[in-house]
Amino acid sequence: MAAGIGVTAGDYRYRSDSNGRLICQYGLDVAAGLNLANDAFLRACRGLPVDQVPVWFMRQAGRSLPEYHKVRGKGSMLDTIARPELATEITLQPVRRYGVDAAILYSDIVVPTHAIGFGVDIVPGVGPVVEQPFRGARDLTRLRPLDPEADTPYVLETVRNLAAELDVPLIAFAGAPFTMASYLVEGGPSRTHALTKRLMHSEPELWSALLDRLADLAIASIASQLDAGASAFQLFDSWAGALAPDEYRRFVLPASQRIFAELGSRGDGAPGIHFGVGTSELLELLAKAGADVVGVDWRVHLDDARERLGPDIAVQGNLDPAAVLAPWSVVAERAIDVLNRNSGQPGHVFNLGHGVLPETDPETLERVVELVHGYKAAP
Amino acid sequence: MAAGIGVTAGDYRYRSDSNGRLICQYGLDVAAGLNLANDAFLRACRGLPVDQVPVWFMRQAGRSLPEYHKVRGKGSMLDTIARPELATEITLQPVRRYGVDAAILYSDIVVPTHAIGFGVDIVPGVGPVVEQPFRGARDLTRLRPLDPEADTPYVLETVRNLAAELDVPLIAFAGAPFTMASYLVEGGPSRTHALTKRLMHSEPELWSALLDRLADLAIASIASQLDAGASAFQLFDSWAGALAPDEYRRFVLPASQRIFAELGSRGDGAPGIHFGVGTSELLELLAKAGADVVGVDWRVHLDDARERLGPDIAVQGNLDPAAVLAPWSVVAERAIDVLNRNSGQPGHVFNLGHGVLPETDPETLERVVELVHGYKAAP
């Protein structure tokens, strides 16, 4: 199976999943007879050579696709996520359209918190909104452990559907403790994260307890997605860039480190991606948390990021999602610049520096995929 | 005059202003008999030794002060700015309360654009809102040159009032071309600056013409404030951190460079501060634009910023405005960390990394000023 895509057996290890099926280290489910036409994404995450630079887009499923609006219907996004057939279809749409090298589950980082009854919804045009924000120690009890089979069966059903249908790897994901804490403490999106930082600085023990519970939620959620058939995961610490490096190291790193350690100890070798925006000063710490791949936004040129991260960490990124709105000649120039800055080194997953903007023309992304796949680094 | 504050005559140069009055290089208006009790701010901007680290706070005048809300009244902030007696009083309030080492004019970066009739207002809770955003070449004519005496006489009257009353330097300011362009193109505050970047990439010549007009406005506005008695200026490129370094260099640096060059060629030696948030990757370029002082937000530790900027550039910052909401012991620890990271080198103006948050307790800022003034670096 692997022979046709130019990999050697030495690249792979196998394990049994919870149902006794043999799972390849890189998520190729051998027993189920899946034939991943494209494992370039998983190879790149591991820093292995690839024939073509793999590419996917954060938020590739959703708002920017007309076929999404056609099937999505009205109501809260959480209702759509809770309908496995619909969520499966929405996850597949960009894979079909773009020919990307990975699928990412159509879901949201607030799903586990919502599922355990913390009282959070996603309001169109606003984002996550929490009815009763986290205010003190008594709110800790509202963050009970996640039982994925009971609390988010629809997520697992969607993942199982996808594992059966996809011929590219599926990326599981969860919100990282800091970013989740910010939503729960602020009660919604925040420009300053002022209440969150106040809690962090004023009540470090409560903060640490909060982050521990959020880490547990992330671990349980991602582990269940991997068990159900996902082959890699991304931890979204989207707002970590609001912190100074010493704050991140002291108040956030321990919880995020535990997530990567516990998921890594599963032994299935699913690579972990660690992502945030505005993280110029945090790249080394995002790697130190235990990531195999560090997501880089467009503010740091990829060669600079590479230099800071060293040869053992793969990078993901980093075309500016706003630059994608420009005419094609500009988009092409910017995409090629990203590729050139990596100089053909292994360990690069092409992506945007943040999620696809709703006003993006899908045809542009189609052409980006074509460009990335056709790219050959200068010798 | 200077003898009492430990400076030597060699530190100063003199020039005549437009009214033939003798102006000291550091803005001490000798002919008018001003006696600045505190020129530590201007000395620090020039990298000269000081007895105490000077400190002021971005947005020190305004929202966070009860005495501001008492005098401010209702209506648009632009109406308040247009009343010189009120604007003078509001500018003085934090100087009185905090004993800061510099005053910053109570005004707003949209004032010149508003004054020439582009149609912009400041909406409480939102920010600048532009009725008819900049869409194409025909909108260039809406950006006619600023005639400060005719268009913003109230600003000049306020500055003259302040020059007569203050015993600390007054900081003039303007919005930088990129940040102003973003407001005019987006029509208001934007998280992604998507339309702005699209214009920049799609129509580079129009973009360049737009930035040139905005540079002219900044130059005219700052020059008129300096003529009226301000002794330093700050160029606010608050949102420049949204750009990748190569984009900044190509699309923004030339216009901002011209501002510092033209204001520098006046020969009054008023130091120029260049400020933005999220500018980790842009610090060297912000200095290259011609700034004497580079504003650093809290995301970059000051020792790292110093290392990148070299010994000839002063730094301003960089306590996290959100950290100021924490209990005093934490605020003190964070403020001392900022000071320690500078290790007592000359050329440091203490400030927050961004504007004072509205929910800040003024007493905390009083204590920060006391702490900064009492600080002695370890020998």
pLDDT in tens, B302-332: 999 999 999 999 999 999 999 999 999 999 9
pLDDT score at A29: 39
Residue A38 banded pLDDT, cuts 50, 70, 90: confident
Residue B378 banded pLDDT, cuts 50, 70, 90: confident
pLDDT over 50 at B221, yes or no? yes
Cβ within 8 Å, pair B322-A278:
no
Inter-residue contact A303 to A323 (CB < 8 Å):
no
Mutate to test the interface with A, among B282, B301, B325, B356 (most CBs of A within 10 A): B325
List the one residue out of B77, B76, B275, B302 whose CA is nearest residue B174. Answer: B275
Kindly name the residue from A43, A46, A72, A213 that is annotated as catalytic: A72
Token look-up 């995929």 returns: A369
Tokens of B173: 């300011």
pLDDT (tens digit, 9 = 90+) per residue, A105-156?
999 999 999 999 999 999 988 999 999 999 999 999 999 999 999 999 999 9
Cβ within 8 Å, pair B244-A298:
yes
Nearest-10 crossing angle of helices B84-98, B153-165:
40
Q: Taking all residues of chain A, what is their mean pLDDT, rounded to a whole number? A: 91
For the question of an ipTM over 0.85, the answer is yes
Which residues does chain B have within 8 Å of residue A300's beta carbon, measured at their own beta carbons?
Answer: 244, 281
pLDDT score at A36: 54
As a whole number, mean pLDDT of residues B171-178 equals: 98
As a whole number, mean pLDDT of residues A251-270 equals: 96
**A362: which residues sit within 8 A by CB, 6+ positions away?**
A64, A65, A66, A97, A98
> What are the E-state strand segments in B137-196?
170-175
pLDDT (tens digit, 9 = 90+) per residue, B348-360?
999 999 999 999 9
Which residues does chain A have within 8 Å of residue B337's beta carbon, measured at their own beta carbons?
Answer: 246
Is A63 known to be catalytic? yes
Q: Which of B72-81, B338-347, B366-375 has the lowest mean pLDDT?
A: B72-81
pLDDT score at B17: 44
Which residues does chain A have within 8 Å of residue B323's beta carbon, measured at their own beta carbons?
Answer: 197, 201
Inter-residue contact B131 to B184 (CB < 8 Å):
no
Kindly name the residue from A29, A39, A108, A237 that is annotated as catalytic: A108
Is B63 known to be catalytic? yes
Kindly name the residue from B43, B72, B213, B306 that is annotated as catalytic: B72
Cβ within 8 Å, pair B357-A301:
no
Classify B236 as helix, strand or coil: strand
Please give the interface size between A and B, counted as residue pairs whose CB atoms are below 8 Å apart: 89
Inter-residue contact B8 to B137 (CB < 8 Å):
no
List the one residue out of B351, B269, B373, B251 whose CA is nearest residue B46. Answer: B269
For the stretch B120-157, what's the b/e string if a residue is b when 16 or more beta carbons lie within 10 angstroms of its beta carbon?
bebeeeeebbbeebbeeeebeeebeebebeebbebbbb
Cβ within 8 Å, pair B299-A280:
yes
Is A26 known to be catalytic? no
As a whole number, mean pLDDT of residues B65-70 equals: 96
pLDDT (tens digit, 9 = 90+) per residue, B82-119?
999 999 999 999 999 999 999 999 999 999 999 999 99
Cβ within 8 Å, pair B322-A194:
yes
Q: Taking all residues of chain B, what is their mean pLDDT, rounded to a whole number? A: 91
Cβ within 8 Å, pair A278-B298:
no
Classify B118 as helix, strand or coil: coil
pLDDT over 90 at A262, yes or no? yes
Which position has the higher pLDDT, A329 or A124?
A329
First to last CA, chain A: 30
Write the single-letter amino acid at B49.
Answer: P
Nearest-10 crossing angle of helices A362-374, A84-98:
60
Residue B287 banded pLDDT, cuts 50, 70, 90: very high
pLDDT (tens digit, 9 = 90+) per residue, B7-55?
333 344 344 444 444 444 444 433 333 345 579 999 999 999 999 999 9
Which residues does chain B have within 8 Å of residue A327's beta carbon, measured at their own beta carbons?
Answer: 201-202
